[in-house]
Structure 1
Amino acid sequence: MALALACAGFLAAIGFAAAPRPAVAVTSPGSVTGDARVIDGDTIDIGGQRVRLEGIDAPETGQTCARRLIGTWGCGAAATKALKAMVTGRTVACERRGTDKYGRMLGVCFVDGSEINRQLVRDGFAWAFVKYSGSYVAEEAEARAAHRGIFATENQAPWDYRAGKWANAGEQAPAGCAIKGNVTRNGRIYHMPWSPWYAKVVIDPARGERWFCSEKEAVAAGWRPAHTL
Structure 2
Amino acid sequence: MRRGRVSVVRGRQRHVEWRLRDLLRAVAVLTVLLIVLAVLLWREETHIAGPVDVIDGDTLRLADGRPLRLEGLDAPEIDQFCERPSGTYACGRAARRALFRLVAGANVTCVAHGRDRYDRLLGRCRAGEVDIGASLVAAGWAVANGRYRVEEAAARTAGRGLWQGSFERPADWRARH
Distance in structure 1 (CA, Å) of the matches to 2:156 and 2:96? 20
Identity of aligned residues (%): 43
Give the deviation of 1:62 after TM superposition: 1.1
CA contact (8 A) 1:124 1:143 kept: yes
Deviations 1:152-199 (Å, cap 9, x if unpaired)?
A: 13311011111111xxxxxxxxxxxxxxxxxxxxxxxxxxxxxxxxxx
For the residue of structure 2 that corresponds to 1:30, the secondary structure is strand
Distance apart, 1:106 and its partner CA: 0.7
Q: Distance in 1 between matches of 2:136 and 2:124?
A: 12
Closer, same or farther: CA 98–74 of 1 in aligned 2, 3 Å: same
Instruction: Return the match for 2:169 from 157, 163, 177.
Output: 157
The alignment partner of 2:117 has SS state of: coil
Q: 2:149 aligns with which of 137, 140, 149?
A: 137
SS at match of 1:140: helix
**Cα separation, 1, equivalents of 2:94 and 2:165:** 16
- The answer on 1:36 being equivalent to 2:52 is yes
- Please name the residue that 2:61 is paired with: 45
**Counterpart amino acid of residue 40 in structure 1:** D
How do 1:202-213 and structure 2 match up within 5 A?
none
If each structure's helix is expressed as a fraction of its own residues, which one has the higher value? 2
Superposition misfits of 4+ residues, deviation over 3 angstroms: none
Amino acid across the alignment from 2:70:
L
2:6 alignment partner in structure 1:
none
Q: CA RMSD in A?
A: 1.4
Number of the residue aligned with 1:67: 84
Match for 1:33: what amino acid? A
Would the alpha carbon gap of residues 56 and 29 (structure 1) be closer, same or farther in structure 2, given more than 3 Å must change?
Answer: closer
> In the TM superposition, what is the alpha-carbon distance from 1:45 to its structure 2 partner?
1.0
Q: What is the deviation of 1:29? A: 4.5
Q: Report how many residues are paired.
A: 133
What TM-score do you get using the length of structure 2 for normalisation?
A: 0.71
Give me the whole-angstrom Cα distance separating, in 2, the residues matched to 1:124 and 1:73.
15
Deviations 1:93-125 (A, max 9, x none): 011233112221111100111100010000010
Alignment check: 8 A CA contact 1:36 1:91 kept: no
2: CA distance, partners of 1:143 / 1:29? 30
2:134 and 2:73 mapped to 1: Cα distance? 8
Q: Does 1:118 align with 2:134?
A: yes
Once residues 98 and 152 of structure 1 are traced to their aligned partners in structure 2, the CA distance between those partners, rounded to angstroms, is 34
Check conservation: 2:81, 2:89, Cα contact below 8 A. Answer: yes
Larger RCO (alpha carbons 8 Å, 6+ apart): 2
TM-score, normalised with respect to structure 1: 0.56
